Amino acid sequence: MELIPSDTRTTATEDGGLNLLTPEAWKALLSRYSHIVLVANSEAVDFERLRSELPETALYVFFNNVYKVLGEPFAGHAVLVARSGVMGANIVHRREVGDVLRFFAGDDFRGVINLRVSPEENFSEESRFNGAKARHLDLTQMLGDLYPTGKIATSGFAMALWLAELQLPGKILLAGFSAKRSEKWKVFDVHDWTFEQIFLRLFARMGSISMMGGVDASPYSALAKRFPDVPPIEIAMTAAEVLSERLHNANGQIDRLMSVTKSIRAIENFFRRFKPKTRKERFLEKSRG
């Protein structure tokens, strides 16, 4: 990552191993790019379209396990967001740093952003990223009163909201943010995907960000064009009514499945007791004891 003017740096934390920047420093660092593209780990990402439509002055932001979207080293300005967990950055404690950073071998790689969005998450020191330049970004306060209780924000959502609030001169583009389970990659229930999609699409309609495929592909836009005399609130209420009925019917089918699979789940839970504890579970037990 490029050097930051000394008057915009923050001081390191007490342990001396973290690099935290002020909002002004981040803005100075990111304002040189015409576009900042957040690339989701999703099969919905259209790299061919991205590279053909965007200039070389775009910065591509990747997340954690980039082998989900990259098959070869990336040529272009790029940064890697390494999400933290209770044991530090996930790619660090899972020993995946080398596997991920091999996709960013060129001079255009701007380094790692170790992201924290919850008080339970902990940073990893810069030295743990195999020589890559690392900065640390703490968004716990920004998301504390915003995100639904009991859930935790995805890295992509947190970064999109933070970048929008920085009010950068460049455009913010979200690529592949579909929140859909694919045949290859799953989505995690710890995140509130519905809340995030509503929030991001409202942001897009306000012009704060752009979404490749998200808002402009909405079928409800066609309804507004077909019924121009119907107020938008009526269209929204009708759509909500239909969706509510479909959800009610789906819940009935889910209840049936839960009943049918009760014995299978009982057997699974019995054998789970004999499964060896993960490194994360051992770490948590040790920290509590």
Rounded Cα distance between 36 and 19, Å, is: 22
> What does the angle CA 135 – CA 122 – CA 120 come to, to the nearest 5 degrees?
135
Phi, psi of 249 (to 5 degrees): -65, -40
Q: Domain of 284? A: 221-288
Say if residue 58 is in the same domain as residue 201: yes
Say if residue 169 is in the same domain as residue 35: yes
Say if residue 210 is in the same domain as residue 232: no
Domain count, the chain: 2
Say if residue 206 is in the same domain as residue 227: no
Residues 67, 89 contacting (CB under 8 angstroms): no
Q: Is residue 1 part of a domain?
A: no
Q: Is residue 147 part of a domain?
A: yes
Q: Is residue 122 part of a domain?
A: yes
Render pLDDT for 221-250 as a digit per residue (tens, 0 to 9): 778 888 889 888 888 888 888 888 888 888
What's the predicted TM-score (pTM) here? Answer: 0.79
Residues 160, 203 contacting (CB under 8 angstroms): yes
Rounded Cα distance between 54 and 26, Å, is: 22
Q: Which of residues 191, 217, 243 is at a domain's end? A: 217
Q: Is residue 180 part of a domain?
A: yes
Rounded Cα distance between 220 and 205, Å, is: 13
Say if residue 163 is in the same domain as residue 257: no
Say if residue 265 is in the same domain as residue 149: no
Q: Is residue 169 part of a domain?
A: yes
Q: Is residue 210 part of a domain?
A: yes
Please enumerate in sequence order all residues whose Cβ is within 8 A of that of 91, keeping only pairs 6 or more positions apart, or say none: 64, 65, 82, 97, 100
pLDDT mean across residues, the chain: 84
Quick one: which H or E segment has residue 26?
Answer: helix 23-30
Q: Is residue 237 part of a domain?
A: yes
Say if residue 152 is in the same domain as residue 267: no
Say if residue 95 is in the same domain as residue 53: yes
Per-residue pLDDT of the chain in tens (289 residues, 90 and over written 9)? 554 443 445 444 444 578 899 999 999 999 999 999 999 888 778 888 888 899 999 999 999 989 888 889 998 999 999 999 998 999 998 999 999 999 997 889 999 999 999 999 999 999 999 999 999 999 999 998 899 988 999 999 999 999 999 999 999 999 988 766 555 545 557 888 889 988 998 888 888 899 885 555 566 777 888 888 988 888 888 888 888 888 888 888 888 888 888 888 888 888 777 777 666 666 656 666 6
Render pLDDT for 109-148 as a digit per residue (tens, 0 to 9): 999 999 999 999 999 999 999 999 999 999 999 998 899 9
Q: Which of residues 217, 234, 269 is at a domain's end? A: 217
Residues 86, 280 contacting (CB under 8 angstroms): yes
CATH code of the domain containing 77 = 3.90.1480
Q: Which of residues 185, 217, 249 is at a domain's end? A: 217
Residues 8, 28 contacting (CB under 8 angstroms): yes
Say if residue 173 is in the same domain as residue 60: yes
